[in-house]
Amino acid sequence: MTDSPMAFVATNDLVAHTRGRALPLAELSATSGVGWVPADLAIDAFGHLYEPNPFGALGDLRLIPDLETRAPLPWPEGTCDVFLADQTLPDGTPWECCPRSNLKTALRRLLDDHGLTIMAAFEHEFALLGPDEEPVGPGAFTLGALVGGEPFGAAARRAMEAAGIRWENWLPEYGPGQFEVTVAPEDGLRAADVAVLTRDIIRTTATMHGQRATFAPLLHPDAVGNGVHVHLSLWRDGQPVTFDAGGLAGLSSLARSASAGILDHAAAMLMFTAPSHVSALRLTPHRWSAAGSFVGLHNREALIRVSPVPPGADPSRAYNLEFRAADSTANPYLVLAVIIHAMCDGLDRQLSLDSVLATHIDDAEITPLPVDLAGAVAAFEKDEVAQSWFAPDLVETVLAVRRGEWQTVGDLDLVERCRAYAQRY
């Protein structure tokens, strides 16, 4: 005998953990949802609820499921369908601190102010560990490493397909036990939904196979890191507007201004896109990650990489920008929201992009990124424009969680700190 079908109504929080409530699938309501608590937003990656926070013991919310996000998860017995949700006040109005609702706000700004929409795709790297916590699948990029990840890999891909996720590539990466999954571009909100579901499907599938998938930025200070690369393209009236054959590096004036906006706010954005106390360790030269605040032509150390166009593809449709300073300790909705807000600021001010680096970083002067999360927090607190993108209560809670998490990991050495995050992600 198996359990009756179950629904899990979920939100992804400030530390990118998917939290929510389960109920019988037959009792799921798209209008009333399930109850939730504002202070839950102040829980950090290690399960600590930080006080003071703006909410305390007061207030009530509802998690209203978006039925189009339904994702059946691998489950020991019976079935469980995950539904991503918006957090609303009891009267049904959006809660200003809901990450998913904040992305909707950013998307509306892009459309209302500039007539633009965005297509995006989150590219994830993760490490697969066996019961002994050792990496599974030897050999960078090899067929043997791909085989070593089975049958977990096939099960994860089937589960992604069942959730409506169009995966494009599944490959063994450079690091021990490291894999990468790329997915097809979707409209902005769906792209972030897919990012949340992809992580949870892969983690759940690994657990079902007696393994563990970790998306932590680093398993060891000297290890190859796990990043999240966000591919972006701008569209207007259903047509792509990122490419211009006569523009700098093939970028249209819109794409150049949007990119300049990201560069202008890059340091502050890292509080949302690379928010753990090990994230910044990846963002240094010669780690094939974002080594500085610049746009690079086909350069994997750029903050914004102009991606190559596949042979035979229409460049107007294939041209995209890749934001490379994100990882899976970051909430996908807030990652995309800060990117879009920064792009909008660049478009509002018609900022110009003066150069695109077409050589190695050793041959150029680049603007470094903050060396730690404290530097990113300080940059955000100095950036009044970036602060204006979010409600004061959300900003206060983000700051409390980021600083509070230091109380758990601040006294650990880098090896222990990486290990602590690897256990939580």
Report the first-to-last Cα separation within the chain, whole angstroms. 33
Q: Where in the chain is the domain with CATH 3.30.590.10?
A: 104-424
pLDDT (tens digit per residue) in 3-30: 789 999 999 999 999 999 999 999 999 9
Mean pLDDT, rounded, for 378-396: 97
The percentage of residues in the chain with a pLDDT greater than 90, rounded to a whole number, is: 87
Rounded to an integer, the average pLDDT of 314-319 is 91
Tokens of 134: 């050792």
Is the pLDDT at 126 greater than 50? The verdict is: yes
pLDDT at residue 33 greater than cutoff 70: yes
- What mean pLDDT comes out for the span 308-317? 90
Instruction: Say what the pLDDT of residue 1 is.
Output: 41
- Residue 135 is predicted with a pLDDT of 87
pLDDT above 90: residue 229: yes
> Per-residue confidence at 123, pLDDT binned at 50, 70, 90?
very high
Q: Which CATH superfamily is domain 6-94 in?
A: Glutamine synthetase, N-terminal domain (3.10.20.70)
Region(s) of the chain under CATH 3.10.20.70: 6-94
**What mean pLDDT comes out for the span 53-80?**
92
Parallel, antiparallel or unpaired: strands 80-88 and 71-73: antiparallel
Whether 2 shows a pLDDT value over 60: the answer reads no
Distance between CA 326 and CA 324 in Å, rounded? Answer: 6
pLDDT of 138 above 80: no
Provide, rounded to the nearest whole percent, the portion of the chain with pLDDT above 70: 99
> Residue type at 400?
A
Phi, psi of 72 (to 5 degrees): -70, 130
Tokens matching residue 41: 């937003």
CATH code, residues 104-424: 3.30.590.10
Q: Is 312 helix (H, G, I), strand (E, B) or coil?
A: coil
**CA-CA distance, 322 to 353, in Å (whole number)?**
16
Examine the pLDDT at 306 and tell me if it is beyond 80: yes
The pLDDT value recorded for residue 303 is 96
Is it the case that residue 218 has pLDDT exceeding 60? Answer: yes
Give 394-407 pLDDT, tens digit per residue: 999 999 999 999 99
Q: What is the pLDDT of residues 340-362, one digit of tens each?
A: 999 999 999 999 999 999 888 88
Which single residue is written with the structure tokens 């918006």? Answer: 86
